[in-house]
Structures are given as structure tokens and as C-alpha cells.
């Protein structure tokens, strides 16, 4: 069986857990990042280290919501020698979430870096308006001068100082 089919099966099971209200995405992202780490990758791919050692590494790192469920997944994958599939499983899970319409990704462009609390508040406001969970990808563009440009799918909300000035210029010049 190909790894993509295996990863898809695990992702479907995790998606079902998420449908039941279990928040495991933050811990799964941490676990996936850990398996992508160059130093740890050799340990996880090697058969010279026991399952317990591999699980202990994750146990030290994982700290977010869903830790318990992800640790069970890690233990299962370790027993089957498939820990290195975590990034692929995460990708499949994100694809399932996207296809289900549970969350949508939005791009936020600002003139200055936005702090985490502001991004969270913006995500909550946008989510309440469109009826879905919104995950934000933030970028900086100093040419905006101030304000924000938000892109959600094919919609664009431009509240930047630059666009306001350009509009005023067009109104004055004609």
C-alpha cells in the first residue's frame, strides 16, 4: 500500500476526532515539525532506536491542545515504523479540513508586523462574518503605509492607507 493511502487513512481518523470536537491540530503540527527537523529525522528513520525513545522525544516537545491524542498516534506510528509519515498525515488532514469547508485560509497584508493577539482577534471577526474558522497568513508590505489588505478566496478587502490616498488622487485629478 502506498504511503499516501496510509497517510490518508490516519488523516480520516484524525478528522473524525476533530468532528467530535477534539482540537489536535496544534500538537500535530508540532509533531510534524519535529519529524522534519534534520537532527531528529535520523533518529525517527533509524531502527536502532526503540519505540520508547522515539515517543519520549515527542513527549518532551508536545505541549499544545490535542497532545494526548497525538501521543497515541505517535506511539502507534512508532510501533509500525511509520513516524516519518507525520508531515504527510498533517497535509492530508489539512486537505480534508479544507474540503469540508470547516476552515478557510485568508491572507493579511499589512505595513508593519502584526502581533499574535491582533491576528487572533482579526481571525475571530472574519470567522464570525463568514461562518467558518479562518486561519490567517500574514505578510508585510511597507508600501501600504498603514491599514490592511485581506484576501479570502476571491474576495479582497482593502483598508490600506495607500488605496485611500490613490482614491483621493483619482478624485482630485479626475
31-53 pLDDT, tens digit each: 888 888 877 877 887 778 888 88
Alpha-carbon distance 65 to 70, whole Å?
A: 9
Single pTM value for the model: 0.58
120: part of which helix (H) or strand (E)?
A: helix 116-130
Give the per-residue pLDDT at 88: 94
pLDDT of residue 100: 80
Contact 78, 55 (CB under 8 A): yes
- pLDDT tens-digit map of 111-166: 999 998 999 999 888 877 776 788 888 999 999 899 999 998 778 889 999 999 99
| H helices, E strands: number in the chain | 8, 4
Q: How confident is the model at residue 15 (pLDDT cuts 50, 70, 90)?
A: confident
What pLDDT score does 36 carry?
Answer: 84
Cα R_g (the chain), whole angstroms: 21
Dihedral (CA of 122, 125, 129, 134) sign:
positive
Answer for the pair 74, 83: CB distance below 8 angstroms, yes or no: yes
Q: Residue 146: phi, psi to the nearest 5?
A: 180, 170
Q: Give pLDDT, residue 131.
A: 63
Distances (CA, A) of 81 to 28, 43, 84, 100, 104: 18, 11, 8, 30, 33
The percentage of the chain sitting over the pLDDT mark of 70, rounded to a whole number, equals 96
CATH 1.10.520 segments of the chain:
3-98
- Checking if the pLDDT of 23 tops 80, the result is no
Report CA dihedral (105, 90, 28, 155) to the nearest 10 degrees. Answer: 0
CATH architecture of the domain with range 3-98:
Orthogonal Bundle (1.10)
Amino acid at each position: 500500500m502506498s504511503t499516501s493511502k496510509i497517510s490518508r487513512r490516519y488523516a480520516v481518523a484524525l478528522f473524525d476526532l476533530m468532528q467530535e470536537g477534539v482540537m489536535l491540530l496544534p500538537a500535530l503540527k508540532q509533531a510534524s515539525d519535529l519529524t522534519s527537523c534534520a537532527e531528529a529525522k535520523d533518529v525517527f528513520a533509524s531502527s536502532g532506536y526503540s519505540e520508547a525513545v522515539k515517543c519520549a522525544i515527542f513527549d518532551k516537545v508536545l505541549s499544545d491542545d490535542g497532545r494526548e491524542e497525538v501521543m497515541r498516534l505517535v506511539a502507534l506510528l512508532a510501533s509500525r515504523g511509520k513516524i516519518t509519515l507525520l508531515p504527510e498525515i498533517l497535509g492530508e488532514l489539512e486537505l480534508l479540513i479544507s474540503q469540508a469547508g470547516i476552515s478557510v485560509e485568508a491572507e493579511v497584508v499589512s505595513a508593519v508586523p502584526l502581533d499574535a493577539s491582533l491576528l487572533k482577534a482579526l481571525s475571530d471577526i472574519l470567522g464570525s462574518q463568514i461562518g467558518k474558522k479562518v486561519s490567517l497568513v500574514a505578510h508585510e508590505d511597507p508600501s501600504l503605509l498603514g491599514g490592511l489588505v485581506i484576501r479570502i478566496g476571491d474576495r479582497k478587502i482593502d483598508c490600506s492607507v495607500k488605496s485611500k490616498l490613490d482614491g483621493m488622487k483619482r478624485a482630485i485629478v479626475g
